[in-house]
Amino acid sequence: IVMTQSPATLSVSPGERATLSCRASQSVDGNLAWYQQSPGQPPRLLIYDASTRATGVPARFSGSGSGTDFTLTISSLQSEDFAVYYCQQSNNWPRTFGQGTKVEIK
């Protein structure tokens, strides 16, 4: 399954809302996760099952969607949120990731 994320880069001012998209080439039901990666670090799990926040993830992160279209929303960007975000499907093998959306400071 090919995961396609858009946009490739999102320029946002601190405090503003960011909306990231992920589309699957076929239905993955609700088996979709989101990860955040900062430079030099491994990815960090944010959201699983499309909309469930992982332990310790702030409430400003929310996920939605099912089937082929998914969204990650960051309600009010903080300085530590400027990073690259990846989606990953877990409905089929092999598990596959999107190519990432870089959220940068505007």
Partner 1 sequence: QLQLQQSGPGLVKPSETLSVTCSVSGASIIVPGYYWGWIRQSPGKGLEWIGNIYHTGSTYYNPSLKGRGTLSLDTSKNQFSLKVKSVTAADTAVYYCASGPTVARIVEFWGQGTPVTVSS
**Does the protein bind partner 1 through residue 96 (CB under 8 A)?**
yes
Q: Per-residue contact track with partner 1, 50 to 69, x per CB under 8 A? A: ----x---------------
User: Shortest approach of partner 1 to residue 42 CB, angstroms?
Assistant: 4
Residue whose C-alpha is closest to residue 13's, from 63, 55, 64, 74: 74
- Whether the CB-CB separation of 58 and 47 falls below 8 Å is answered with no
Give the side-chain half-sphere CA count within 13 A for 45. Answer: 13
Contacting partner 1 within 20-39 (CB under 8 A): 31, 33, 35
Query: Using the rule CB under 8 A, is 48 a contact of partner 1?
Result: yes
Return d(Cα 36, Cα 101) in angstroms, integer. 10
Footprint of partner 1 (CB under 8 A): 31, 33, 35, 42-45, 48-49, 54, 86, 88, 90, 93-100
